[in-house]
Amino acid sequence: MTTLVSGAGWEPFVHGAGSLEPGSAGLAVHRYPANARVQVDDIMFRFAEACPVGVSLRFVAKGEVELTIAATTVMQDGGAAPEVALMVREGESERMLPLTDPSLIVIDGDATVREMRPRPPQTVRLTAASGGTVEVLLPHNARVELVALAADGGIEPWPAAGLRWTHYGSSISQGLNAVSASRTWPVAAAAQLGWRLRNLSIAGNAQLDGFAARVIRDQPADLITLKAGINLVNADSMRERTFRPAVHAFLDTIRERQPDTPIVLISALSCPIHEDSPGPVVTGEDGRARAARRAVEGDTGALTLSRSREILAEIVAARGDDRLAYWDGRELLGAADSNALYDGLHPDQGGLDLIADRFVAGIRERAGMGPADI
């Protein structure tokens, strides 16, 4: 079998990525460019950003195809390693290809690295079709380096089609706990809608950072959705005084180069532990998340989810932007659905599926889109 794609040749085959950069085995897939990543010194950000959720390889294959890939995932010390897999779509069919024995980063409860367990790249067979279109969703829960794509016949890039959708959000939108790369809610929604997704969601790090706004600004899109609130309350990183101008600045930055792109600002989903209690979030002995017991008296301005929604709605109303809309996240996952929060904070797979279906049902109306926009 002849190697047909390697090195710089990957570019036309990869969709939904921010950059491809030299790694230890091949080209590392990143969702944010290097000049954005250097602005954050956070181990969770570095790992989550490099998990290529929503990133895929697309090609037309003639004969059998093999992909060589290096994957690295994170395992809690004493726990089980997560399953890392490719999702292969050929026509209407979809199948999972587990990657055996990926490299592991072993961490403790404070996210301190305890051990590194490197493994060599793995080669998997993708298809035996002849002349068929193939889409390979890269793992949503592992860092990935692309090493080589080989075929015993020809192979050509398969261009993506459909509306260009950029989404920004938290771990719920990144979906590290989803059962597969195709079941994170934005990926599932994009598949139902026939849209091209650029998922810029970062677990724990949807902090309205300026670099994120600039990346969104510089990525041409037909629709932008911004989900804000939960990470800011979880981390207790902003108060009302800073939250309001931060949202305005984020929107101002995007509008510098995308003045007419529809933007839907989505508030936090229902999360009972923080509806009326400020952060930070802590984990109890039962493993469930809860709001910290604060000892501050008269803590006016501490941000709660309820107040964050009010502020987001006020911002949208104040800006007078007819291409900007507000969507209450509780319409995607409400108080009646709180049993889907398996740890008190994150939706289980049923919850993620529910969010995807409700998003698909409501996004066109919220974005003011008609048939000509799709």
The pLDDT value recorded for residue 293 is 65
- Bridge partner list, 157: 59
pLDDT in tens, 29-41: 999 999 999 999 8
Joined tokens for residue 351: 């919850």
CATH of domain 164-373: 3.40.50.1110
Which residue ranges does the chain devote to CATH 2.60.120.260? Answer: 2-157
Q: Mean pLDDT throughout 183-204?
A: 96
pLDDT score of 249 more than 90: yes
Question: Quick one: pLDDT band at residue 347, thresholds 50, 70, 90?
Answer: very high
Question: Quick one: pLDDT band at residue 292, thresholds 50, 70, 90?
Answer: low
The pLDDT value recorded for residue 208 is 97
The pLDDT value recorded for residue 167 is 98
The pLDDT value recorded for residue 277 is 77
The pLDDT value recorded for residue 42 is 85
Q: Which residue has the higher pLDDT, 271 or 24?
A: 24
d(CA 117, CA 101): 10
Name the most confidently modeled range: 93-97, 170-174, 231-235, 295-299.
Answer: 170-174
For Cα atoms 11, 16, 17, give the angle at the middle one, nearest 5 degrees. Answer: 60
pLDDT score of 326 more than 80: yes
**Average pLDDT of the chain, as a whole number:** 89
pLDDT in tens, 100-130: 888 877 777 666 777 878 889 999 988 655 5
Q: Mean pLDDT throughout 286-291?
A: 66
pLDDT score of 295 more than 60: no
pLDDT in tens, 146-159: 999 988 878 899 99
Which residue ranges does the chain devote to CATH 3.40.50.1110? Answer: 164-373
The pLDDT value recorded for residue 294 is 61
Q: Mean pLDDT throughout 127-143?
A: 83
pLDDT in tens, 4-15: 787 778 999 999
Q: Which residue has the higher pLDDT, 77 or 150?
A: 150
- Bridge partner list, 265: 226, 326
Q: Mean pLDDT throughout 291-303?
A: 66
How many Cα atoms sit within 13 Å of 165 on the Cβ side?
30
Decide if 102 contacts 121 (C-beta within 8 A).
no
pLDDT score of 287 more than 70: no
Q: Which of 43-52, 68-77, 172-181 has the lowest mean pLDDT?
A: 68-77
Question: Quick one: pLDDT band at residue 210, thresholds 50, 70, 90?
Answer: very high
- 2-157: CATH homologous superfamily? Galactose-binding domain-like (2.60.120.260)
Residue entry with tokens 């800006």: 319
Length of the chain: 374
pLDDT score of 261 more than 90: yes
